[in-house]
């Protein structure tokens, strides 16, 4: 349930990562209410909901099918455990050169193995490991920027045509949170936007009932969609846009580098910094080369010597 708007939330730079011991880190973002009851959030909610899970046991059949002297089957007895994503990418990379014999790079040297891959820009093996997030508490303007990243990503975003005003929420920019005037203007603005949305939706339905048929819908669902697709024209960029994003490790690395830096817009910077924290927590081999940078405005980003692998 949303909490009453009383105290200002800390800026998005102080990120509270939860869920690390269970292996699915997340950053939770509470909802607030204006005095008139309009719901809004103040920073990105970032939940890792899926990551690679591997089993290489059955590969014994494959590895045992070569010259015994190559000693491939002992590949599966490597005693060092790796995060599943890094393990998958390492097996994929070692398949390229059939590096399964005793002279290969063992898991204990996985950091060095991936350092070579990152250094040489041979990042295609990182495309095997996929990670999915649910992002919320982010504005429609941020998702517009996010979906520009095409290579290696899949997106499913809230449909403003399909869902009704009952799930309408907004996102307050950090610049407004601690400024009483800008905060009050924000609350008034979103109250007005929510009220306008409802008023237009009701007016459209009323016209339809009167037989004007301005929406020309054949079915009930069509009608609802046509009402909402029209009424949403009054919604501002501040409207919340929950989205599920799946991407491979190479693609996540690229978007983190492009967006968790000083040139990026601050809302997407906060979003990608939180996503980075989650990914580095579950797979420090694939994402552990990033260093945190704190900028003058208090926000954080990352830098790495291995850009765009
Ligand atoms: C700070 C900042 C400001 C921006 N400002 C604007 C702006 O004012 N206006 C605007 O329109 N956009 C703007 N963008 C968006 C930007 O132009 C890109 O569309 C966005 O960052 C996606 O990145 P990408 O092109 O690397 O694509 P991704 O889909 O992330 O692709 C990753 C990489 O794959 C390769 N690739 C992907 N698709 C192709 C392809 N079709 N052909 C060849 N290679 C491909 C490229 O090497 C690419 O870098 C901005 C982005 C940033 C970070």
Per-residue pLDDT of the chain (309 residues; tens, 9 = 90+): 333 333 333 334 478 999 999 999 999 999 999 999 999 999 999 999 999 999 999 999 999 999 999 999 999 999 999 999 999 999 999 999 999 999 999 999 999 999 999 999 999 999 999 999 999 999 999 999 999 999 999 999 999 988 888 999 999 999 999 999 999 999 999 999 999 999 999 998 888 777 766 666 666 667 788 888 889 999 999 999 999 999 999 999 999 999 999 999 999 999 999 999 999 999 999 999 999 999 998 999 999 999 999
Q: Which of 123, 144, 151 to mutate to test the pocket of ligand 1 (most atoms within 8 A of CB)?
A: 151
CA distance 153 to 258: 15
Listed in order, the ranges of the chain carrying CATH 3.30.70.3180 are 3-51+129-174+238-303
Residue of the CA atom closest to atom 22 of ligand 1: 149
How far does the centroid of ligand 1 lie from the alpha carbon of residue 137, in Å? 24
Ligand 1 pocket list (CB less than 6 A): 148-151, 254-255, 258-259, 263-264
- CATH code for the structural domain at 3-51+129-174+238-303: 3.30.70.3180
How far does the centroid of ligand 1 lie from the alpha carbon of residue 251, in Å? 12
Q: 42, 169, 250, 259: which is the annotated catalytic residue?
A: 259
Give the DSSP H or E segment for 176: helix 174-177
Atom of ligand 1 minimally distant from the CA of 259 = 53
- 259 catalytic? Reply is yes
Site of tokens 């920073």: 43
Residue of the CA atom closest to atom 23 of ligand 1: 149
Atom of ligand 1 minimally distant from the CA of 263 = 1
CA distance 196 to 198: 5
CA distance 238 to 250: 30
* C-alpha closest to that of 278 among 309, 305, 245: 245
Residue of the CA atom closest to atom 40 of ligand 1: 151
Atom of ligand 1 minimally distant from the CA of 258 = 53
CA distance 277 to 280: 5
How far does the centroid of ligand 1 lie from the alpha carbon of residue 148, in Å? 6
Instruction: Write down the pTM of the prediction.
Output: 0.93
How far does the centroid of ligand 1 lie from the alpha carbon of residue 275, in Å? 19
CA distance 162 to 221: 8
Q: For residue range 95-143, what is the model confidence (pLDDT) as tens digits?
A: 999 999 999 999 999 999 999 999 999 999 999 999 999 999 999 999 9
What's the farthest any 2 CA atoms get from each other in the chain? 85
CA distance 145 to 289: 25
Residue of the CA atom closest to atom 17 of ligand 1: 148
CA distance 30 to 57: 43
Residue of the CA atom closest to atom 50 of ligand 1: 145
Residue of the CA atom closest to atom 15 of ligand 1: 148
How far does the centroid of ligand 1 lie from the alpha carbon of residue 42, in Å? 27
């Amino acid at each position: 349930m949303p909490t009453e708007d009383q105290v200002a939330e800390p800026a998005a730079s102080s990120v509270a990562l939860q869920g690390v011991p269970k292996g699915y880190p997340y950053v939770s973002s509470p909802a607030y209410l204006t005095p008139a009851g309009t719901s809004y959030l103040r920073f990105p909610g970032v939940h890792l909901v899926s990551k690679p899970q591997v089993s290489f046991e059955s590969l014994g059949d494959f590895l045992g099918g070569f010259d015994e002297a190559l000693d491939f089957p002992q590949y599966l007895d490597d005693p060092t455990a790796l995060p599943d994503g890094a393990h998958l990418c390492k097996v994929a990379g070692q398949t390229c050169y059939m590096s399964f014999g005793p002279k290969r790079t063992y898991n204990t040297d996985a950091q060095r193995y991936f350092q070579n891959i990152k250094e040489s820009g041979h990042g295609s093996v990182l495309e095997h490991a996929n990670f999915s997030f649910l992002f919320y508490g982010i504005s429609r303007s941020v998702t517009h920027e996010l979906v520009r990243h095409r290579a290696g990503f899949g997106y499913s975003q809230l449909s403003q045509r399909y869902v009704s005003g009952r799930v309408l929420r907004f996102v307050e920019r950090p610049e407004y949170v601690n400024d009483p005037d800008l905060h009050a203007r924000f609350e008034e603005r979103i109250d007005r936007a929510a009220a306008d949305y409802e008023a237009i939706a009701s007016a459209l339905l009323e016209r339809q009932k009167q037989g004007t048929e301005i929406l020309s819908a054949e079915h009930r669902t069509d009608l609802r969609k046509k009402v909402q697709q029209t009424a949403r024209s009054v919604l501002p960029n501040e409207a919340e846009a929950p989205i599920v994003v799946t991407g491979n490790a190479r693609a996540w690395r690229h978007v983190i580098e492009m967006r968790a830096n000083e040139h990026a817009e601050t809302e997407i910077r906060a979003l990608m910094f939180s996503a980075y924290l989650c990914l580095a927590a579950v797979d420090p081999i694939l994402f552990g080369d990033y260093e945190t940078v704190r900028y003058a405005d208090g926000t954080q980003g990352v830098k790495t010597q291995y850009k765009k692998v």
